């Protein structure tokens, strides 16, 4: 393994032939799958003790942060940024397709239109909350991990995977729940829901730490990469191959 500059990190997912690494593509696919799946199943609310509830998306959504951590750790912030925007675009396509499917006229003999609308229907408010929370949470998560990697000189992987999750998932949960449910759920209950979701997501990340170590160590050996984003432009809107401050 070897540390890379940001120029090298930006090209980290690329092979010598100029193609994206197969492992990078697999991680991106899993990341996007977790994100879209979580948004679809989030309509169901799961019962928690003390009368609280959380969206069923919590079953799989934290995995998007876990794989986001792996992408940043192994390939660098610029590579993770591409996947975050890819996830946003794919989720938007899914939302448009679901909305179009619901708007098109149903066959006369099909009786599932009401169920379709109930399970797959999205309100503009929930969509806005979801998209804002996703972008803010994922970019902050990747930023914090990259900065902690520099601060720890690449040691103590668990400090940056858990530390970035504490911040990223916290931002994600606060933004989504606040935008989606302010004025609908009493303030005291809303705070409890935010806290419960945040705690569950962080515990999820802690429990998955051995798996994260296994995957990160495997990929670093296979890819020959261990980038440090010392000169990276951390703007989330730069989509170029290697974003470096001049």
232, pLDDT greater than 60? yes
Q: Rounded to 5 degrees, what are φ and ψ at 227?
A: -75, 150
Q: State the pLDDT at residue 101.
A: 93
Query: Looking at the predicted structure, is the pLDDT value of residue 109 above 80?
Result: yes
User: Is residue 246 pLDDT above 60, yes or no?
Assistant: no
Percent of the chain with pLDDT over 90: 67
Going by pLDDT thresholds of 50, 70 and 90, the confidence category of residue 15 is low
User: Which pLDDT tens digit goes with each residue over 194-227?
Assistant: 999 999 999 999 999 999 999 999 999 999 999 9
pLDDT of residue 51 exceeding 50, the answer is: yes
Better pLDDT: 3 or 121: 121
Mean pLDDT on 28-33: 96
Look up the pTM and report it. 0.87
**pLDDT value of residue 111:** 93
**CA dist., res. 102 & res. 182, Å (int):** 27
Q: Mean per-residue pLDDT for 84-107?
A: 94
Residue 169 confidence class, pLDDT cut points 50, 70, 90:
very high
Domain spans of the chain? 3-227
Given a cut of 90, is residue 14 above it in pLDDT?
no
- Three-class DSSP labels, the chain: CCEECHHHHHCCCECCCCCECHHHHHHHHHHHHHHHHHHHHCCCEEECHHHCEEEHHHHCHHHHHHHHHHHHHHHCHHHHHHHHHHHHHHHHHHHHHHHHHHHCCCCCCCCCHHHHHHHHCCCHHHHHHHHHHHHHHHHHHHHHHHHHHHHCCCCCHHHHHHHHHHHHHHHHHHHHHHHHHECCECHHHHHHHHHHHHHHHHHHHHHCHHHHHHHHHHHHHHHCCEECCCCECCCCCCCCCCCECC
Is the predicted pLDDT of residue 5 greater than 60, yes or no? Answer: no
Question: How much is the average pLDDT of 40-51?
Answer: 84
Query: Higher confidence at residue 246 or residue 226?
Result: 226
* pLDDT for the residue 245: 37
**What is the structure's pLDDT at 17?**
58
pLDDT of residue 110: 93
pLDDT for 149 equals 97
State residue 181's pLDDT score.
86
Residue position matching structure tokens 């010598």: 16
- DSSP string of 54-123, one letter each residue: EEGGGGTHHHHHHHHHHHHHHH-HHHHHHHHHHHHHHHHHHHHHHHHHHHSPPPTT---HHHHHHHH---
More confident residue, 29 or 125: 29
Region 185-195 average pLDDT = 87
């Amino acid at each position: 393994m070897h540390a890379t500059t940001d120029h090298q990190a930006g090209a980290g997912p690329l092979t010598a032939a100029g193609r994206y690494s197969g492992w990078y593509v697999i991680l991106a696919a899993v990341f996007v799958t977790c994100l879209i799946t979580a948004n679809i199943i989030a309509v169901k609310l799961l019962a928690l003790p003390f009368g609280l509830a959380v969206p069923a998306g919590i079953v799989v959504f934290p995995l998007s942060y876990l794989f986001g951590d792996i992408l940043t750790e192994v390939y660098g912030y610029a590579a993770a940024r591409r996947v975050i925007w890819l996830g946003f675009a794919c989720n938007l396509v899914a939302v448009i397709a679901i909305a179009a499917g619901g708007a098109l006229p149903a066959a006369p003999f099909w009786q599932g239109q009401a169920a379709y609308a109930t399970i797959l229907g999205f309100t503009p408010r929930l969509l806005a909350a979801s998209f804002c929370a996703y972008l803010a949470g994922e970019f902050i998560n990747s930023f914090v991990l990259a900065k902690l990697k520099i601060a720890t000189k690449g040691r103590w992987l668990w400090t940056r995977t858990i530390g970035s999750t504490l911040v990223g998932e916290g931002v994600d949960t606060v933004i989504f729940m606040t935008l989606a449910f302010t004025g609908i759920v009493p303030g005291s209950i809303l705070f409890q829901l935010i806290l419960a979701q945040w705690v569950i997501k962080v515990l999820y990340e802690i429990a998955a730490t051995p798996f994260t170590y296994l995957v990160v160590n495997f990929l670093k050996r296979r890819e020959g990469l261990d980038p440090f984003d010392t000169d990276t432009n951390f703007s989330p809107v730069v989509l170029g191959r290697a974003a470096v401050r001049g």
